[in-house]
């Protein structure tokens, strides 16, 4: 469903016979901005809607309603709005005039200058007089027309016919080491190298286009003036004199500007003749790369000046909307939304035959990037990782390239791929992660005679959790709390299972977390559960609460392995010479420090000092029926690896 505000505003304005300039002045915006609102490209904020509702004497509720059935007051019957309109119309027109002198508009608003209206402004008590509205408008229009004619003749100027139109492609620019972009409200921001002050743009406002040089940023304001940061003082002083500019572009060291009469200005580096643009007319758009200038005229033809290697391929090309250059690409975006790349000499052709509805292109060293009207970005590059990364970008409104990286702008955030040495951009995935729930952590398993209890830490903003384990059949369940108890009959002794858990949200603002995966070996209560993370993910710390199995009477080697696997490190083994072993089975005789059935965490186990005694093994041929008269103990070699703590 489209906004019907443009239709409503047009209907209201036409009904009251108001100019776009007048309504724009009421909203304290430029005519171009207002034209953008009326043609549906821009949108009002609530304050502006309130002003409009007051201007047209309708309620804000009616103004905000998305239909064009709007109350149109009859002037003859409604003296209030008549008075309101007639009383306000004079002053804003006079005050606003110097902002619209480069504007092409559709309802014969005159091109005027403040000084032409001094007489009108000086009329006393205009607001208090009852004036015939139609007559007044007629007088104003006639005065504007005459004033413009006289002004134009006196100054012998060509009639300006081009408008400054803010475009999305102008909202983002990239050099080899920094990126600049324009926010919704016309402020300008940057990321990356600021060693030359090229990102010190906080003083700029009402910016409609930005471009970058090697180490400077140049901007075009909606008033048609130009400014820059990081630029040498002489060049800066020069561009501050420019006015009535409708487009700008910057190469490495030269700046191009198109005036509203179709002429072109250039300052800066002219070593390749890139600034030889004085004689060209009827230009509506400029692009620049390194030491080259590309001018597009009103017939959509290319005029090129600058580095010779490009010249033969570009001069005279027709039906061209944009040209993008790099060391090894010449990309041409045609007016029908298709793209062609020159595949000759040093230049690579590009795979663009399936691309359509392309609105912008950009080239780097070894790649060409394309943006379509749906905000999708495509790239011609021999790098599948970057290709994959860029394909995940959505709703992009502008693209730009440095020699070895690509950035895309969605109106709020700059995403990038490639070389990010100067931190020119944010990784798309990093930004998206902020809306993804954290993965569950600290899975613990507690085995009882009847149940196996799984618990994990609560995840912020998670409404529930999905728990899955590959029992036979697979068990999968959503649980509100970070715990699930399963009947132990569903598990087989000693069998390995894989547990997957992820945090979920009912709120669209949060995406489900990444699933964590843990291997788990089931042992009945007496045995040892040995969960280990399957992946390299750092999220799983498993403070399993162990239940100590039977030890006394078991084989010494088996028990020592068992304790070692659990994590015990402080184990002392003592041979009891008074008790001889049967055959080769060296059994544990007694143990201190831990007991059968005790539940203990890994951390606790590490701190325990465990001592056990075992029978004395005597090779069979020497085994005699010995008698035990006294117990002597000696510290014996433990089976614990030598890097474990040695206990004396």
Partner 1 sequence: MEEKIWFYENNKGKEGPYTETDLIKMIKNNIIKPDDKIWTFALDNWIKLKDSVYIFYSEGDVND
- Tally Cβ neighbours within 10 Å of residue 121: 13
Instruction: State residue 548 phi and psi, 5-degree precision.
Output: -70, 130
Query: 364, 443, 369, 453: which is closest to 409 by C-alpha?
Result: 369
Q: Of the two residues 65 and 558, which places its CB atom closer to partner 1 in the complex? A: 65
From CA 265, how far away is CA 581, in angstroms rounded?
102
CB 563 within 8 A of CB 610: yes
Handedness of CA 470, 475, 476, 481 (dihedral sign): negative
Shortest CB 142 distance to partner 1, Å: 36
Q: Of the two residues 68 and 309, which places its CB atom closer to partner 1 in the complex? A: 68
Q: How far is CA 35 from CA 10, 42, 88, 105, 512, in A?
A: 10, 8, 20, 8, 43
From CA 506, how far away is CA 514, in angstroms rounded?
16
Q: Of the two residues 207 and 342, which places its CB atom closer to partner 1 in the complex? A: 207
Within 8 A by CB and 6+ apart from 271, the residues are 291
Q: Of the two residues 413 and 645, which places its CB atom closer to partner 1 in the complex? A: 413
Shortest CB 479 distance to partner 1, Å: 21
From CA 246, how far away is CA 238, in angstroms rounded?
17
**Residue 632's beta-bridge partner residues?**
none
Q: Of the two residues 234 and 508, which places its CB atom closer to partner 1 in the complex? A: 508
Reading the block at residue 561, the tokens are 């392995």
Q: Of the two residues 8 and 291, which places its CB atom closer to partner 1 in the complex? A: 8
Shortest CB 226 distance to partner 1, Å: 23
Q: Of the two residues 46 and 146, which places its CB atom closer to partner 1 in the complex? A: 46
- Tally Cβ neighbours within 10 Å of residue 638: 18
CB 575 within 8 A of CB 633: yes
Shortest CB 176 distance to partner 1, Å: 28
Q: How far is CA 377 from CA 386, 391, 395, 466, in A?
A: 12, 6, 9, 34
Shortest CB 359 distance to partner 1, Å: 10
Shortest CB 123 distance to partner 1, Å: 35
Shortest CB 208 distance to partner 1, Å: 13
Q: Of the two residues 61 and 538, which places its CB atom closer to partner 1 in the complex? A: 61
Within 8 A by CB and 6+ apart from 245, the residues are 164, 220, 224, 225, 226, 257, 258, 259, 260, 265
Q: Of the two residues 325 and 359, which places its CB atom closer to partner 1 in the complex? A: 359
Q: Of the two residues 50 and 120, which places its CB atom closer to partner 1 in the complex? A: 50
Determine the 3-state secondary structure of 558 from DSSP. Answer: helix
Shortest CB 347 distance to partner 1, Å: 32
Task: Say what angle helices 31-38 and 5-15 make with each other, to 10 degrees.
Answer: 120
Q: Of the two residues 229 and 414, which places its CB atom closer to partner 1 in the complex? A: 414
Shortest CB 560 distance to partner 1, Å: 58
- Tally Cβ neighbours within 10 Å of residue 140: 19
Q: How far is CA 616 from CA 192, 246, 583, in A?
A: 73, 98, 10
b/e per residue 161-179 (b: at least 16 CB within 10 A): ebbbbbebbbbbbbbbbbb
Reading the block at residue 487, the tokens are 């009947």
**Residue 325's beta-bridge partner residues?**
330
Length, in residues, of the chain: 648
Shortest CB 195 distance to partner 1, Å: 32
Strands 367-372 and 188-192: unpaired
Shortest CB 395 distance to partner 1, Å: 8
Tell me the HSE value of 64 on the side-chain side, using a 13 A CA sphere. 10
Shortest CB 419 distance to partner 1, Å: 29
Q: How far is CA 327 from CA 82, 134, 256, 310, 417, in A?
A: 63, 62, 21, 10, 19
Query: 360, 372, 296, 361: which is closest to 326 by C-alpha?
Result: 361
Q: Of the two residues 206 and 403, which places its CB atom closer to partner 1 in the complex? A: 206
Give me the residues that bind partner 1 (CB under 8 A), please: 1-5, 8, 40-41, 43-46, 49-50, 59-61, 63-66, 168, 184, 397, 412, 508-509
Shortest CB 25 distance to partner 1, Å: 21
Shortest CB 504 distance to partner 1, Å: 16
Q: Of the two residues 2 and 353, which places its CB atom closer to partner 1 in the complex? A: 2
Q: What angle do CA 91, 95, 100 make, to 5 degrees?
A: 125
Shortest CB 34 distance to partner 1, Å: 15
Q: Of the two residues 1 and 154, which places its CB atom closer to partner 1 in the complex? A: 1
Q: Of the two residues 234 and 509, which places its CB atom closer to partner 1 in the complex? A: 509
Shortest CB 435 distance to partner 1, Å: 9
Q: Of the two residues 92 and 411, which places its CB atom closer to partner 1 in the complex? A: 411
């Amino acid at each position: 469903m489209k906004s019907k505000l443009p239709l409503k505003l047009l209907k209201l304005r036409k009904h009251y016979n108001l100019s776009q300039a007048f309504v724009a002045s009421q909203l304290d915006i430029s005519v171009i901005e207002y034209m953008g609102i009326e043609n549906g490209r821009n949108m009002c904020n609530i304050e502006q809607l309130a002003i409009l509702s007051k201007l047209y004497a309708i309620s804000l509720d009616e103004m905000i309603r998305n239909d064009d059935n709007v109350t149109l007051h009859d002037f003859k019957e409604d003296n209030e709005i008549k008075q309101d309109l007639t009383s306000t119309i004079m002053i804003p027109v006079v005050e606003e005039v110097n902002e619209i002198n480069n504007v092409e508009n559709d309802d014969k608003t005159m091109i005027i200058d403040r000084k032409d209206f001094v007489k009108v402004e000086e009329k006393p008590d205009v607001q208090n007089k009852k004036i015939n509205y139609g007559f007044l408008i007629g007088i104003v229009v006639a005065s504007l027309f005459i004033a413009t004619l006289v002004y134009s003749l006196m100054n012998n100027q060509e009639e300006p016919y081009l408008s400054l139109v803010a475009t999305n492609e102008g909202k983002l620019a990239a050099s080899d080491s920094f990126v600049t972009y324009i926010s919704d409200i016309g402020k300008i921001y940057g990321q990356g190298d600021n060693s030359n002050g090229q990102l010190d743009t906080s003083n700029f406002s009402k910016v409609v286009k930005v471009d970058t040089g090697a180490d400077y940023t140049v901007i075009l304001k909606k008033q048609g003036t130009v400014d820059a940061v990081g630029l040498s003082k002489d060049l800066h002083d020069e561009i501050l004199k420019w006015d009535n500019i409708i487009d700008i572009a910057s190469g490495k060291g030269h700046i191009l500007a198109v005036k509203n009469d179709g002429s072109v200005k250039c300052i800066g580096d002219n070593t390749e003749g890139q600034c030889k643009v004085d004689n060209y007319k009827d230009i509506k758009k400029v692009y620049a790369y390194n030491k080259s200038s590309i001018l597009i005229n009103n017939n959509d033809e290319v005029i090129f000046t600058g580095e010779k290697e490009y010249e033969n391929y570009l001069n005279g090309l027709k039906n061209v909307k944009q040209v993008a250059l790099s060391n090894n690409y010449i990309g041409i975006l045609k007016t029908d939304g298709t793209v062609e790349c020159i595949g000759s000499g040093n230049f690579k052709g590009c795979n663009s035959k399936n691309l359509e509805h392309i609105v912008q292109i950009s080239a780097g060293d070894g790649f060409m990037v394309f943006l379509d009207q749906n905000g999708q970005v495509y790239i011609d590059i021999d790098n599948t990782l970057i290709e994959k990364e860029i394909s995940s970008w959505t709703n992009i409104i502008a693209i730009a390239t440095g020699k070895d990286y690509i950035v895309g702008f969605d109106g709020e955030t700059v995403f990038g791929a490639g070389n990010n040495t100067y931190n020119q951009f944010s990784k798309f995935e990093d930004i998206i992660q902020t809306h993804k729930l954290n993965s569950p952590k600290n899975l613990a398993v507690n085995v009882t005679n009847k149940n196996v209890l799984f618990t994990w830490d609560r995840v912020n903003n998670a409404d529930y959790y999905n728990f899955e384990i590959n029992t036979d059949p697979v068990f999968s369940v959503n649980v509100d709390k970070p715990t699930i108890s399963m009947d132990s009959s569903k598990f087989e002794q000693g069998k390995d299972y894989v547990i997957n858990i992820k945090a979920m949200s009912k709120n669209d603002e949060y995406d489900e977390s990444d699933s964590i995966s843990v291997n788990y070996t089931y042992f009945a209560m007496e045995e040892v559960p040995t969960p280990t993370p399957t992946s390299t993910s750092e999220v799983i710390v498993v403070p399993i609460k162990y239940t100590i199995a039977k030890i006394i009477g078991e084989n010494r080697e088996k028990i020592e392995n068992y304790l070692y696997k659990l994590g015990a490190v402080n184990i002392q083994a003592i041979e009891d010479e008074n008790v001889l072993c049967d055959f080769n089975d060296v059994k544990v005789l007694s143990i201190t420090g831990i007991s059968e059935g005790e539940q203990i965490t890994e951390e606790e186990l590490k701190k325990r000092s465990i001592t056990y005694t075992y029978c004395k093994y005597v090779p069979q041929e020497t085994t005699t029926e010995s008698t035990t008269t006294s117990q002597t103990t000696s510290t014996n070699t433990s089976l614990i690896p030598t890097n474990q703590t040695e206990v004396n």
